């Protein structure tokens, strides 16, 4: 498995940085975004380091979207949002701030604005509660 010791997501995969894990299998990891744009914001990543969507095979991308689909359904069940936004950014000019491929699953709630991307740390207990709720919906 490719690993970048300077990548926070690689450190999470390796167990060297903490994360509230929602789902894990041999190839993918889903965990709570520590700077969520809304309650229940989850990230889905490949375990192997790849900076952008262009750095994985079509088969790896397909696996990621299957996991994203599964976790998004659990987010919708657990968090009961009015909508769910999926986002995947490639490159700094597209808004990517962590250069490890990831999909955002962002619940949207009517009348509630999104927080700015990567702007404010969430309360650890709140993240844990949301994580447990989403995991139970898987």
* Active-site position among 102, 104, 117, 130: 102
For residue 102, indicate whether it is catalytic: yes
Provide the pLDDT for residue 130.
98
Predicted TM-score (pTM) above 0.85: yes
Q: 127 vs 22, 82, 86, 124, CA distance in Å?
A: 11, 20, 19, 5
Q: Provide DSSP, the chain.
A: ----TT-HHHHHHHTSS---EEEE-SSEEEEE-SS-SSTT-EEEEESS--SSGGGS-HHHHHHHHHHHHHHHHHHHHHH--SEEEEE---SGGGT--SSS--EEEEEE-TT-PPPPTT--PPPHHHHHHHHHHHHHH-
Residue 49 near residue 2, CB atoms below 8 Å:
yes
- Could you report the per-residue pLDDT of 78-102, keeping only the tens digit for each? 999 999 999 999 999 999 999 999 9
User: 8-137 in CATH: which number?
Assistant: 3.30.428.10
Which residues are bridge partners to 23 per DSSP?
30
pLDDT at site 119: 83
Residue ranges of domains in the chain: 8-137
pLDDT of residue 1: 61
Provide the pLDDT for residue 104. Answer: 98
């Amino acid at each position: 498995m490719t690993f970048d010791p300077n990548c926070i997501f690689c450190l999470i995969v390796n167990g060297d940085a903490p994360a509230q894990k929602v789902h894990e299998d041999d190839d993918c990891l889903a965990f709570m975004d520590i700077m969520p744009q809304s309650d229940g914001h989850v990230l889905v990543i490949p375990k192997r380091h790849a900076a952008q969507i262009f750095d994985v095979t079509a088969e790896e991308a397909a696996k990621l979207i299957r996991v994203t689909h599964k976790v998004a359904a659990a987010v919708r069940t657990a968090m009961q949002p009015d909508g769910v936004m999926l986002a995947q950014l490639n490159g700094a000019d597209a808004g990517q701030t962590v250069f490890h491929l990831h999909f955002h699953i962002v619940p949207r709630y009517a009348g509630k604005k999104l927080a700015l991307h990567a702007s404010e740390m969430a309360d650890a207990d709140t993240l844990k509660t949301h994580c447990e709720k989403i995991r139970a919906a898987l």
